[in-house]
Structure 1
Amino acid sequence: MQEQPEPAFAPGLTARVELTVTDADTAQAVGSGDVPVLGTPRVLALAEAATVAATATSMPGGSTTVGVRVELEHLAATPVGRRVLASARLVAVDGRRLQFDVTVTDGNQTVARGRVERLLVDRQRFVERAARVS
């Protein structure tokens, strides 16, 4: 009987990424509102960056992950100049599907929280398929 390969990822992987909010990160700049605070699209991008960082050291050669589902609550405004920290924790693995809990904080305040689901794919095949669709 042939041994099954070890799964590439196991629940418990974590990563954190930081951002100091600039004018380019505001809702005004990204088109998601007209106020000079951290825009929700940037909050989401930061949370996704944390999920990517969590898988980076265990990524099988030739593979990558792509985002397929997001649930995000943006709970508090963050002004320009503040530093926010996004944390991701891999909580479930179902075949190629990876589910992360994510939080974004500003000091002790929770700015956002949610879930991000990513799918493990063959990078070259994914890019080729995307090019054919375009």
Structure 2
Amino acid sequence: MTADAFARDPDEHYPQVLATPVMIAEMERACAALLRPLLQSGDLSVGARLEVSHVAPTPVGGQVRTSARFTGREGALYWFDVWSEDDGGKIGQGRHARAILPQSAIESRAAARPGS
């Protein structure tokens, strides 16, 4: 991982380890990749639920691998087990649910929200 993937803020103190939001983003991407073959033209998959534990730190320069396994469908939600590992073993694990929706519907809902 490169330095931009690590938690930092000039007014706060964080360790030089992989930031949890970056790990979560990789987990979401791994699940989204598994859904790609199901997407119709104009569809996207979107994250709907997430339960994650970040259990070990990864130092700058560490290599992280993220994997996902489809576990089932509940209504409109596609559920996955997801985990990330570095050379020392597991660094994070959890469950993630995604839904498939038309991109136009997602953007219309966002545009209708206050502040749009």
Alignment TM-score, normalising by the size of structure 1: 0.78
Q: What is the identity, as a one-letter code, of the residue corresponding to 1:109?
A: G
Please give the residue correspondences for 1:81-100 in structure 2 after superposition, counting only pairs within 5 Å: 81-100=61-80
Q: Which runs of 5+ in 2 are unaligned?
A: none
Distance 1:33 1:57 in 2: 42
Distance 1:52 1:92 in 2: 14
Q: What is the identity, as a one-letter code, of the residue corresponding to 2:66?
A: A
Distance 1:41 1:99 in 2: 20
Alignment TM-score, normalising by the size of structure 2: 0.89
Please give the residue correspondences for 1:120-131 in structure 2 after superposition, counting only pairs within 5 Å: 120-131=100-111
1:82-116 deviation per Cα after TM superposition (whole angstroms, max 9, x unaligned): 11001011111123211110000113500100001
- Per the alignment, residue 67 of structure 1 pairs with 47
- Aligned-pair distance for 1:32? 8.8
Q: Which runs of 5+ in 1 are unaligned?
A: 1-20
Distance 1:32 1:101 in 2: 32
Closer/same/farther in 2, CA of residues 32 and 126 from structure 1, 3 Å limit: farther
Please give the residue correspondences for 1:35-54 in structure 2 after superposition, counting only pairs within 5 Å: 35-54=15-34
Distance 1:39 1:111 in 2: 11
Secondary structure of the residue that 2:69 maps to in structure 1?
strand
Q: 2:6, 2:17 within 8 Å by CA — same for their partners in 1? A: yes
Q: 2:7, 2:17 within 8 Å by CA — same for their partners in 1? A: yes
| Runs of 4+ more than 2 Å apart | none
Percent identity for Structure 1 against Structure 2: 33
